[in-house]
Amino acid sequence: MIPVTKTFLPPQEEYQAILSRAWDAGWITNRGVLVKELEEKLKSYLGVPNIIATTNGTLPLQIAIKALKLTGEIITTPFSYVATTSSIVWENCTLVFVDIDPEYLSIDDTKIEAAITSKTTGILATHVFGNPCNVGAIDLIAKKYELKVIYDAAHCFGVTYKGESIFNYGNVSTCSFHATKIFHTGEGGALFTRDEDLLHKLFYHHNFGHRGQEDFYGLGLNAKMSELQAALGLSVLPYYEFLKAERKKIITFYNIHLEEMQRLRLRDETSWNYSYFPVVFPSEIKLVEAKSALNAVGIFPRRYFYPSLNSLPYVEYKEIPIAESVSSRILCLPVYTGLETVNLEKICNILKEI
């Protein structure tokens, strides 16, 4: 079977050697030495001033909404993973969907202003497949209307834009360290901000609101990363450049052999991480035909992101034409370390036939 991705696992003895430090200390949660070490290494590696490691990539979105005191309407994209939408709904805010750019696939910044009302308090935009939003334009809009900006940067580990870590844009950026990501901690994620006061709020929100053992700053929940997760991250991180290089080879192969298909257009001045390889078919019928043909020989790409989030059962439906069209026609092809050339050739040949 050839899945859309495979989790990279470092040699087990390397993971166990790091984890043994937590075992010896008898400390496996509540921000032990491994979590703190991982945060310091990630700050240095990514070029960010602050990071809070979390137990998954969804809680950071909810915490960011809470810490920024967003209420009323939040402008967002319907072309993202469900966590982007569900976090807004979970925090009792109102979704306002804005359509996407048909090439970059991120939120269309030229349509944001028209969606702003007196009830708008924030923008939650997704760097789709690690491709940056037009952060400069979004920043200008946010400043003009005094809005807060959260970036769902779940796919963006290691991505830079205009020479800057993508995590340094917006009031808050979030990332996922899920097992399917190029860098992972099994389950996990992170919060990023350059604002020291906001960092303090994000921190206590992710740790039950604690101020020491017997006092509290305010409201919080449990989003702390465990030592088990941190140990995995510390054992995966040294392989990141290798993993990126291996994915780059695969995506270069696809680009050469599938040049006639519509692919993701990367924003200029982006240093990408080669996380995904989406292709857009001329019709949903062709996509289903291709997916069925690949499945028949044990190859399992994924319709990612499908369906468009404006069609979720807990969302009031409003037509978002480009997002709905792209969502129905996009397919992510297999990309992972160890995917052999013979299988890449098989995938490309089937797609060419379709």
DSSP 87-124: HHHHTT-EEEE--B-TTT-SB-GGGHHHH--TTEEEEE
Instruction: Please give the torsion angle defined by the CA atoms of residues 113, 114, 120 and 121, in that order, rounded to the nearest 10 degrees.
Output: -10
d(CA 340, CA 225): 34
Decide if 45 contacts 96 (C-beta within 8 A): no
**Percentages helix, strand, coil for the chain, rounded to the nearest 5?**
40, 15, 40
Each domain of the chain, given as residue ranges in start order, spans 3-238, 239-353
Decide if 280 contacts 164 (C-beta within 8 A): no
Find the helix or strand (DSSP H, E) in which 142 lies: helix 135-145
Cα–Cα nearest to 319, from 308, 329, 304? 308
Whole-prediction pTM: 0.97
Residue 333: which region, alpha, beta or left (left: phi > 0; alpha: psi -120 to 50)? beta
Cα–Cα nearest to 272, from 147, 141, 103, 131? 131
**Crossing angle between the packed helical segments 341-353 and 240-257, to the nearest 10 degrees:** 30
Mean pLDDT, the chain cut into blocks of 10 residues (354 residues total) = 98 98 96 98 98 98 98 98 98 98 98 98 98 98 98 98 98 98 98 98 98 95 98 98 98 98 97 98 98 98 97 97 98 98 98 95
d(CA 39, CA 33): 10
d(CA 54, CA 71): 24
Residue 57: which region, alpha, beta or left (left: phi > 0; alpha: psi -120 to 50)? alpha
DSSP state of 319: -
Q: Among 3.40.367.20, 3.40.50.2300, 3.20.20.140, 3.90.1150.10, what is the CATH number of 239-353? A: 3.90.1150.10
Cα–Cα nearest to 282, from 240, 320, 330? 330
d(CA 81, CA 124): 13
Decide if 19 contacts 227 (C-beta within 8 A): yes
Q: How many CB atoms lie within 10 A of CB 121?
A: 19
* pLDDT at res. 144: 98
Q: Report residue 226 as tokens.
A: 């465990």
Q: How many CB atoms lie within 10 A of CB 15?
A: 18
Find the helix or strand (DSSP H, E) in which 309 lies: none
Decide if 120 contacts 73 (C-beta within 8 A): yes
d(CA 64, CA 76): 14
User: What phi and psi, each to the nearest 5 degrees, are found at residue 191?
Assistant: -115, 140
Q: What would the CATH number be for the domain defined by 3-238?
A: 3.40.640.10
